[in-house]
Amino acid sequence: MENELNLLAAEIDKDFETATESKALENLRIKYVGKKGAISAYYEKMGKLSKEERPKIGQLLNSLKNKVESLLTEKLEKFSGNTNNEIIDFSMPGYKLPAGKYHLISQTIRRIKEIFRTLNFDIAEGPEIETEYYNFEALNFPPHHPARDMQDSFHIDKGHVLRTHTSPVQVRTMEKCKPPLKIISIGKCYRNDPLDASHLPMFQQIEGLMVDEDINFSDLKGVLKIFFSEFFQKKTNIRLNPSFFPFTEPSAEVSVTCPICQSGCPLCKKSGWIELFGAGMVDPNVFRNVKYDSEKYTGFAFGGGIERLTIIKHSINDIRHFYENDIRFLNQF
Ligand code: FA5
């Protein structure tokens, strides 16, 4: 029997060498260690052996059984997950996946937050579905006032709109916190504007608010000058021109010296100035709505488009590029 078992060992080696797929391994399992397999059959014959032969043959059979089982495990590992049933070298180095990066608009938002953090501003948030009260009334837009037409809204239901600007966050924050306060808020806004190179139905805004005793226009100018110089990474001057917003009095349009040129380029329409933010001193009516003492406190607010800031910083010619998600455009930044 010993000879027969040696021949069987050689057959096992040959069979496993030529097996190239999982199905063949299953057949070999049945052939050798299945209930009616060759090795099992030899175990059954053990009873007929002499006392002297039994231990040696027993050992041989056990080692053959272990050999088949370890060959089955080893080969199955190689074949698993491999639909072509090729033998895979698992020690080969893998493919390097390309690293992702932040979308350009996210890069702008992160940079803005970084700059205002260094100026000790907190970050506030508010809902994108907003009540008409917070989006308009509390900000001193009276009902049916034509100023509401400046910001053509998407109405959700009676009393709710998709917020048209981030200014409602001013009101929500002042309702929750007592002065002094310094916050910025960044988020999505929605307007029913016709789509073109500078208008989208969804865009993002930054809002800033600072309230304390004795805050005045020069504080506003100082904060914005630091912000724009940091953002454009060059010394930037500020110009404030009279404007109108229902929630600030007086109100101003904030322009900055063109970050691209010294004296005139297509971006600044050869004026050397670029209009970027709306701003002003918080209207006392807004303070009254949030129960702040408008005799004691003053404050400034400012706001502008995140896409517009990004367009100016990177000389981009069409706002629609940001959300078309063409990887060739996004990969440049
Ligand atoms: C406002 O929305 C005021 N809430 C800003 C403000 C805040 C003024 C605090 C005073 C104090 P305005 O409607 O001008 O202002 O919008 C601000 C900026 O949002 C615009 O300059 C523009 O950059 C951006 N914006 C407005 N509508 C769109 C649009 N449809 N698509 C892209 N950007 C837009």
Q: Profile the chain (333 residues) by mean pLDDT over runs of 10 residues.
A: 89 91 88 92 88 89 93 82 66 86 96 98 98 96 75 88 97 97 98 93 98 97 97 94 96 94 80 94 98 97 98 94 94 92
Question: How far is it, in rounded angstroms, from Cα 32 to Cα 61?
Answer: 11
Residue 97 has a pLDDT of 87
User: In ligand 1, which atom is closest to the CA atom of 251?
Assistant: 10
Mutate to test the pocket of ligand 1, among 152, 245, 306, 323 (most ligand atoms within 8 A of CB): 245
Q: Classify residue 94 by its DSSP letter.
A: -
Atom of ligand 1 nearest to the CA of 193: 30
pLDDT at 147: 64
- For residue 170, which atom of ligand 1 is closest to its CA? 9
Of all protein residues, the one whose alpha carbon is nearest to atom 31 of ligand 1 is 199
pLDDT value at residue 133: 95
Nearest residue (by CA) to ligand 1, atom 25, is 305
Whose alpha carbon is nearest atom 32 of ligand 1? 199
Predicted local confidence at residue 152, as pLDDT: 87
Task: Name every protein residue with a CB atom under 6 angstroms from any ligand 1 atom.
Answer: 151, 165, 167, 191, 193, 199-200, 203, 205, 207, 245, 248, 278-280, 301-305, 307-308, 319
Report pLDDT for 48.
Answer: 87
Pick the atom of ligand 1 nearest to 208's CA: 9
- pTM, two decimals, is 0.74
Q: For atom 29 of ligand 1, which residue has the closest CA?
A: 199
Q: Where are the domains of the chain?
A: 2-79, 104-330
Strand partners, 199: 196
C-alpha 101: how far from chain center: 9
Amino acid making up residue 307: E
Contact 128, 190 (CB under 8 A): yes
Q: How far is the CA of 230 from the centre of ligand 1 (A)?
A: 21
Fold adopted by 104-330: BirA Bifunctional Protein; domain 2 (3.30.930)
Rounded Cα distance between 161 and 195, Å, is 19
Residue whose CA is at the smallest distance from ligand 1 atom 24:
305
SS3 content of the chain, % helix, strand, coil (to 5): 45, 20, 35
Buried b (16+ CB within 10 A) or exposed e, 11-42: ebeebbeebeeeebbeebbebbbeeebbbeeb
- Pocket probe for ligand 1: among 205, 275, 313, the residue whose CB has the most ligand atoms within 8 Å is 205
pLDDT of residue 197: 93
Q: Whole-angstrom Cα distance, residue 268 to residue 304?
A: 17
- Give the residue, by CA position, lying nearest to ligand 1 atom 27: 199
Whose C-alpha lies nearest to ligand 1, atom 3? 303
Beta strands 122-123 and 181-190, pairing class: parallel
Phi, psi of 40 (to 5 degrees): -60, -40
pLDDT for the residue numbered 265: 83
Nearest alpha-carbon partner for 11 in 36, 34, 28, 35: 28
Can you give the pLDDT at residue 102?
A: 95
Task: Using most ligand atoms within 8 A of CB, pick from 188, 203, 206, 311 the residue to mutate for ligand 1.
Answer: 203
